[in-house]
A and B are shown apart, each in its own frame.
Chain A
Amino acid sequence: MKKTDTIIIGAGPVGLFAVHQLGIKGLKSIVIDNLDKAGGQCIELYPDKPIYDIPAVPECTGEELTDKLLEQIKPFKTDFFLNERVEEVKQDKENWIVKTNNNNEFLAPNIIIAGGVGSFEPRKLAIKEAEKFEEKSLFYAVKDKEKFKNKNISIFGGGDSALDWALELSKFSKINLIHRRDEFRGAPHTLSEIKKLEKEGKIYIKTPCQLDSIEGKDKIDSITIKFDDGKTEKIKTDVILSFFGLIMKLGPIAEWGLNMNKKTIEVNAENFETNKKGIFAAGDICSYPGKLKLILSGFHEVALASVECFKRARPNEKYRFEFTTSSKTIQGRLGKK
């Protein structure tokens, strides 16, 4: 079990800035996130979209904001546990124990939940039969492309993931690329490659249509797709790959005994503590009167939460408010001389 001062759940902008606010107060933290990289919604939903309301930053993309925040917290050498989801939170006297789906365990007096709208998970196919084939012959991600050699593969989706995998897997498999409309959304180069492979008979493009049914007992034999004009077509298929992006699921957070308001956690606006002592919530996931779901509000929320975290982590020390411009202690922690 790893001991720290604060466990931060969520590596979005608010979770990252929490590392900073705790760090300048001399508190250690660790960060857990279900995605494979830091940045949260900024990196997963709008890496290229400009944001215009970060104070003193007239314009930056989600990716730039994430990079800057990571740079800002570099002095604190924080451990990140990515691709991990928190499953369980339980009390141990004055401390909290957090367990992840990767069997990591952490102990700390404080938890800051900066989980946005929950953890990102692939959006699954809507039809009933889909579930029993999942992870056998239906996949929402490609982990090992060796498994997809010499197969009849039907790929669903019209975005970058669908197009990139269609290109890659067409090198050694027969690909059907199926999309609900005629237009695909991808880089011009990728699109022209796809067109070329279609002419060569390596990729079969089926549009505008959607999945109607999956046939097969233990493994998929074929699928039936339905075109907009009502016609259907049966396609021999060994493997389905489905790329309909990610959705956000609150997941186990709802079971930790916190006071919830719809999908958000109720906090007080003084220190952003929940109804459980030592568990804080900040950013999009918290609610209080007047709450705005803005990145800048999240920054304010973790700044205040970090003060209470200090008091709980260092009960015998007096908290002193300090400015980064004048405090030699803070400057030391930031590696400045």
Chain B
Amino acid sequence: MKKLKKAVCLLLAVSMAVLAGCSGGTSATPTPTEQASSEPTLLRATCTATPETLDPARGTGENDLIIFVNLYESLVVPNRETGEPEPFLATEWTTSDDGLKWTFKLRDDVVFADGTPMTADDVVYSMERMLALGEGYAYVFTDILGSVKAVDTYTVEFDLKSSFGPFLTALTCLKIVNKTLLVANTVKDNSYGDNGDYGKEYLLTNSAGSGPYVIKKFTIRESVDMVKNENYWGTLPAEAPDEATFTQLTDSATTKMMMASGDIDLAHGHQDNETLQALLTTEGVKSAVVSEDGLNYFMMNTKKAPTDDVHIRKAISYACDYDALIAVYGDVEKPNGPVPPNLFGADNTIQGYSYDPEKAKEEIALSKYADNLADYPVELAYIQGNGDTGKLTMLLASNLEAVGFKVTISEVPWVLFCNNEAAVDTSPNVTNAFCSANYPEAGSLLEFKYASWTTGNWNQNEWLQDATFDQMITEALKTVDNTERLQKYSEIQKYLVNDVVPSVYAMVSATKPSWNSKVFTWPVSEGKMYASSEYNYYLANFVMLK
């Protein structure tokens, strides 16, 4: 028996030793710093999720757009400072007097990544394809576009059904794809008639654009590897990364370790504050606040007691302690009106509401619920697991209680939340969420958030259904002249803030990416930022230091 015990012990000890031996001492893989300088430069970034497809006609999420902006190009791009669209693949354009016909002259030197020259045919194909698929940004164009045709090799003409002022800005959402390549890779099925599957299957894992980068390898929910487009028609600086990989990484502990050990160079901007502070302790790691084209809104149901009374809505706007809300997210901006300050068409002269509990009480006294406020509890709701929106809601709840409101709070699962928002009766008094523009212009956000025809989804708990607003936004969207249209947007913003007060504008939505400044220089660090945040990730602007 003793012998056997000894043998078992020995076996156990040997197995432990073998297991320990598996670790095999220090790693043989060279770290980036050991690599020779002649090797291609590689930028290693993280993202909250990889795109689901590389099809620019299908994705609209932040992660999709960051990748698409490097693979595909559009006729116009927003100016970094003003957000106004400026020429890119198109060199110039004209509009008919009635605003229905838009004619674009294209550059004649653009080639796709496979060397095929880009022509008006590709633009026509890209637009028709997007509309046929009906996904992604198709809804921006479905109701307004009559037809699109190639006038000659480098001229394309869009005929609109009705005048649409922001058409040029909206065109930033149309990414041009390589028709020849997609037609050659079409799967013959009956989804889209003669067009087969319109190249959908091919674009699940391949790209077909003219952008400065091409796909090297894409594994959904793992990583997107991009490499410089050797055939790029424009200038692609030598300092820009030769390769870039975006890895899906959501675990904060792993992110911290990988940043500290130099295994990643750029961490996505959705880290919680504690993780961000830990990331910043690594030497050379910096972070920036990158504003996005949306806001955090407390959306007040204007058709349900007690928030149907404008004085109650004003009271809530005054009762809200904006600094406390902003402290939850850190250095983000406080907007004054319904449009983020850097979005094309924002009126930054508007004086919004500030924290003033006394004024809140005065407004309550003016409302029809002044005498029986306790009979009308304000129901606050937020989406389960949606970042810190729960914290924001709790803060507002305590602010409201402090001025005399009775409140109830509910955390609602996403699917149920969407369901509740489908009808005015089931929409709570106040919900909290981040909403952003569909195309980078104030009109998009204003229409999407407040027009009568966009109710019934979680972006409009306000149920504004206000005839004056509908009239104003329709007029503004019809106006082709930029100055005139912006003036109309400004009037709408004033009307919303001063007269209707449908929402509390809590903060500008922003992300806080952090990066190793010893590895690359990012224009964002000098405050050079686009309102459409994806353009900040245009890799050609990155300067690799090693």
Q: Do A and B come from the same complex? A: no
Interface residues of chain A, those whose CB is within 8 Å of chain B, are none
- Please give the residue numbers on chain B whose beta carbons come within 8 Å of chain A beta carbons, in ascending order: none
